[in-house]
Each structure stands twice: as C-alpha cells, then as structure tokens.
Amino acid sequence: MKSEIISEKDFEYDSNRPGMSRRAFLLAAASAAAALAVPDLGMAAKRKSLPLRFYHTHTGERMVVDYSPGSYGGSVRQALEHFLRDFRTGEVHPLDCRLFDSLCAIQRCCKELAPFEIISGYRSPKTNAKLRKNSSGVARKSLHMQGRAIDIRVTGLSTKKLRDIALDVHQGGVGYYPKSKFIHIDTGRKRHW
C-alpha cells in the first residue's frame, strides 16, 4: 500500500473553520485504515512457529513438527496427514488446517510441551461404520471422515481442563468424553457436548 506523508500545513488552523482541512482528514483516515490493516505485533508473535508434539496411542508413532497458523502446506501437510491417517486401513486423507491452528492455540494456553496423544484422526467411511456398530458415540456423518476432526488428550493435563481450554480457543465443535479420557475437536459449527 502506498503511504503518504502528512505535512504540517495540512493541519493548519483556519479560524473560520475549526478542525483540520478536508485533505488532512482524508489523509488521517487513510493512515488509520492502513494501520488497522497491518497485523498487530502481538498477533504476529502468536503466529510464530511452535513445535507440536504428537504421540499416536494406537500406532506408537511419535512426531514433532514446527507449525505456525497459516503454514499448513508442503512437507508439513504430508507428514501430518500420514501421521493422522486411518491407522486401521492405512488410508491418508486431506486434513483441515484449522485443526492444527486450534492445537497451536490450545498448546499455548496449556503452556505445556507435552505431546498431544492422538486417539483418532482421519477415519475412512468403512472404519467409521465398523466403529458405529460397536459404539453409540460414533456419529453416522462423523467429521473424522472428512478430515475435519481429531480426538486428543494431553499428558499430565486433565481432560476437563483440556476441554475448558478448547472451549475458550477453538471455533468449532468440542466433545468431552471423561470416561474415555479424551476430547474431540472438529471444524464444524461451534457447539459442545
């Protein structure tokens, strides 16, 4: 964006017309709009790379990836999608980057570098149907099948506390499963259960 310097003469006081000139007003308004368009330095600091640590409870695999909101692409995307594949079938599916943006926000609130324990990432329709036969807690149209949901817990943090943090920072669905000791987050509409 082109910036323009406002000179002192633009702010000359005219005793017949109090306030600033029309030109000065327009320049000041444009400067204010430009300032609002520039990200806040505090927000920029929040976007810096953060190591996300994962432990998959079913495969025993571990992964650490440097992730910053908005950086979901290339090898980072491929590594995360492979790690969160349907471990029963081996199928890999694209995942919604907003899940990882939320995990970054959750981790910052936890002030923990403990790994996210992954209970479930992507689920194929076949896997989802099989799980649904054995549990009433599996949705017929689960967002896991679209790569838009993940079930997690954090080592050393109660699932109740994790749920509370997710409710504060996550913009989608948050499910709380205290008996199974995990929470579900998804990128559907904002809701909780």
DSSP string, 130-143: HHHHH-TTS-TT-G
Q: Per-block average pLDDT, block size 10, for the chain (193 residues)?
A: 36 42 47 41 50 95 89 88 97 96 90 87 95 85 96 94 96 95 97 95
pLDDT at residue number 108: 87
pLDDT of residue 47: 52
Q: How far apart are CA 77 and CA 95, in angstroms?
A: 8
* pLDDT at residue number 48: 65
Confidence (pLDDT) at 177 = 95
Contacts with 149 (C-beta within 8 Å, 6 or more apart), sequence order: 99, 120, 142, 143, 173, 184, 185, 186, 187, 188
Residue ranges of domains in the chain: 8-38, 48-192
- Topology (CATH level 3) of domain 48-192: Muramoyl-pentapeptide Carboxypeptidase; domain 2 (3.30.1380)
How are the residues of the chain apportioned to helix, strand and coil, as percentages rounded to the nearest 5?
40, 20, 40
Global model pTM greater than 0.75: no
pLDDT at site 193: 94
Is residue 66 exposed (0-12), middle (13-18) or buried (19+ Cβ within 10 Å)?
exposed
